[in-house]
């Protein structure tokens, strides 16, 4: 086998492989978006010098390297959770033809093996796709897609400098700490996965309870978000901001829910029902408060309504503060709760107090 000849041949074909990698990267971006999973996508075409190093490795014996080496075009998908791995593997299996003989599904590592869990799928494209003009040049090419979690990737990066593959390869002086570290990464991955499952279950239960009107829930970011998403009361206030002839503007995106939880705590609110009670009690004066506030905040500063929007949780934030205006001071809103300027904080409190005073006088 003439290695120089093989490398020169690969150098000539490198532009084709590189286009193939870029094409695969774009294709993966599109199909991963369809399942809405948070991910990092990396892509690389093997450097000719790295190919030479791989061919010359003592543990390799290639007869036809350019056809036997499957990661000349390589892609890596890094995911947050273990449960996401199975979803992405299923997607890849649906969209590509899998070379199962050369693919590696590493779910469970034998007790005597030093390494990391990962999945390496060697793929090529389906015939119907390769008939398209933009894919026609890549009929004979394969790519390797690695799929792993962030923690699996971290362990792979750490262990990359080691050449150990099984227990007997490792010097006894470092054997125990290495296996302890490997186990910690594995346990951490499984614990993250379990916590994600538990958090999702809690969120589902919050939603079910709130839809049923069961609002005696502790106030935290998840319970508050579920309340805001499913409460008719919040919907009323947001529709008021959206549709009122004087202040109507967009309601979109999320503000800082953690801040809202801290504001609720500062006001002495304990449950979601307490917040719901405040929003219901604000009917009558709350509408006038929001009108006056947005007029002075936006109109006086010459903002166009088309340029502004209110966060989905904005009405809850504003009405909590307005309902307890006597407890707050501008410096507290700025220092403790991150309001941008004292003058805007002062406007909230002054308008809230004036409107509520007028409401009491007229009642």
Structure tokens at 219: 């106030």
Q: Do 250 and 242 touch, CB atoms closer than 8 A?
A: yes
- Pick the closest to residue 75 from 118, 43, 28 (CA basis): 43
pLDDT at 13: 94
- Give the mean model confidence (pLDDT) for residues 282-296: 89
pLDDT at 166 over 50: no
Judge whether 221 and 232 are in contact, CB under 8 Å. Answer: no
pLDDT score of 1 more than 60? yes
State the DSSP H helix or E strand holding residue 121, giving kind and residue range, or none if neither: strand 118-124
Residue 81's pLDDT band (cuts 50, 70, 90): confident
- The pLDDT mean for the chain works out to 86
Question: Tens digit of pLDDT for each residue in 190-240?
Answer: 888 899 889 999 999 999 999 998 899 999 999 999 999 999 999 999 999
**How far lies 318's CA from each of 171, 237, 312, in Å?**
63, 11, 11
Q: What mean pLDDT is predicted for residues 64-78?
A: 93
Q: Could you tell me which of 258, 174, 253 has the C-alpha nearest to residue 223?
A: 258
* Percent of the chain that is helix, strand, coil (3-state, to 5): 60, 10, 30
Domain spanning 3-186 has what CATH number? 3.30.460.10
CB 75 within 8 A of CB 145: yes
Q: What is the pLDDT of residues 119-142, one digit of tens each?
A: 899 999 999 999 999 999 999 999
Residue 153's pLDDT is 82
Query: Would you say residue 147 has pLDDT above 90?
Result: yes
- pLDDT recorded at residue 275: 97
Q: What is the pLDDT of residues 328-350, one digit of tens each?
A: 988 899 888 988 777 777 888 88
Q: What DSSP letter does each residue of 230-290 carry, written as one string?
A: H-HHHHHHHHHHHH-TTT--EE-S---HHHHHHHHHHTT--BHHHHHHHHHHTTTTHHHHH
Q: Is the pLDDT reported for residue 180 higher than 80?
A: no
Q: In this predicted structure, what is the pLDDT of residue 131?
A: 93
| Domain boundaries, given as residue ranges, for the chain | 3-186, 218-362
Run of H or E residues at 207: helix 172-211
């Amino acid at each position: 086998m003439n290695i120089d000849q093989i490398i020169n041949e690969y150098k000539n074909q490198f532009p084709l492989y590189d286009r193939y990698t870029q094409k695969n990267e774009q294709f993966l971006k599109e199909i991963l978006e369809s399942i809405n999973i948070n991910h990092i996508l990396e892509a690389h075409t093997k450097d000719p010098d790295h190919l030479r190093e791989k061919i010359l490795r003592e543990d390799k014996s290639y007869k036809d390297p350019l056809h036997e080496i499957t990661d000349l075009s390589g892609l890596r998908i890094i995911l947050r959770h273990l449960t996401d791995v199975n979803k992405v593997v299923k997607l890849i299996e649906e969209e590509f033809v899998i070379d199962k003989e050369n693919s590696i599904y590493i779910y469970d590592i034998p007790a005597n093996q030093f390494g990391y869990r990962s999945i390496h799928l060697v793929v090529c494209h389906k015939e119907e796709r390769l008939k398209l003009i933009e894919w026609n040049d890549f009929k004979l090419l394969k790519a390797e897609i690695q799929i792993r979690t962030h923690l699996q990737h971290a362990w792979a990066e750490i262990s990359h400098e080691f050449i150990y593959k099984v227990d007997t390869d490792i010097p006894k002086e470092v054997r125990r700490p290495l296996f302890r570290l490997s186990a910690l990464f594995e346990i951490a991955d499984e614990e993250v996965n379990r916590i994600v499952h538990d958090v999702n279950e809690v969120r589902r239960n919050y939603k079910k309870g709130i839809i049923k009107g069961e609002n005696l829930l502790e106030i935290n970011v998840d319970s508050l978000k579920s309340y805001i998403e499913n409460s008719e009361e919040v919907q009323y206030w947001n529709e008021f901001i959206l549709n009122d002839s004087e202040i109507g503007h967009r309601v979109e995106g999320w503000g800082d829910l953690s801040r809202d939880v801290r504001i609720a705590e500062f006001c002495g609110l304990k449950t979601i029902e307490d917040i719901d009670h405040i929003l219901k009690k604000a009917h009558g004066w709350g509408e006038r408060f929001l009108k006056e506030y947005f007029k002075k905040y936006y109109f006086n500063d010459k903002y166009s309504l088309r340029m502004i929007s209110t966060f989905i949780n904005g009405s809850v934030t504003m009405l909590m503060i307005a309902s307890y205006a006597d407890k707050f001071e501008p410096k507290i809103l700025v220092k403790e709760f991150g309001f941008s300027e004292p003058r805007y904080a002062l406007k909230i409190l002054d308008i809230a107090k004036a409107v509520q005073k007028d409401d009491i006088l007229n009642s």
